[in-house]
Amino acid sequence: MTRYQNLRLERQLCFALYAATHGITRSYRVRLKAVGLTYPQYLVMLALWEEDGRSVSQLAQRLHLDSAAITPLLKRLEVAGFLERQRSPTEERVVQSFLTPAGRELEHAVARIQGEVACQAGLPEEAFMALCSTLHELTQRMADDPKVKRVAA
């Protein structure tokens, strides 16, 4: 038995976040499979539904990932017919991703899936939004730590 109370699992924010994330992503994974998406692909699609035509670096920044992690996701989404990648007309090195009609249509089915997962969480809407806000704030604070170098997920 540990002598330090701060080392108990139930006192670990990292473990609480890990366990909750595992449960939520598992719930999404099962539902998203039916529409042909993986969870990471779902995140890319969310970013493109917010703003179509984002570049690889914009997507990486929005999703807190390394650019190298985004490219394979985009290639698979393109093969699936949900987006098209195009070089920017003004900057040859920049590749932008644009939703196809199939990618835009998918938004309706995914909105239903997100609603199911949110209901499964069992939180009132205010508590759900407050938790999201707190976690976004935590994410920003952790990203601002100069001691921690961002690495690819």
Cβ-count burial 3-35 (b if 16+ within 10 Å, e if not): eeeeeeeeeeeeeeeeeeeeeeeebbeebbeee
* pLDDT, tens digit, 9 for 90 and up, residues 36-50: 999 999 999 999 999
Give the pTM. 0.87
Q: How far apart are CA 59 and CA 40, in angstroms?
A: 12
Mean pLDDT across the stretch 6-25?
A: 93
* pLDDT, tens digit, 9 for 90 and up, residues 50-93: 999 999 999 999 999 999 999 999 999 999 999 999 998 888 89
**CATH number for region 11-143:** 1.10.10.10
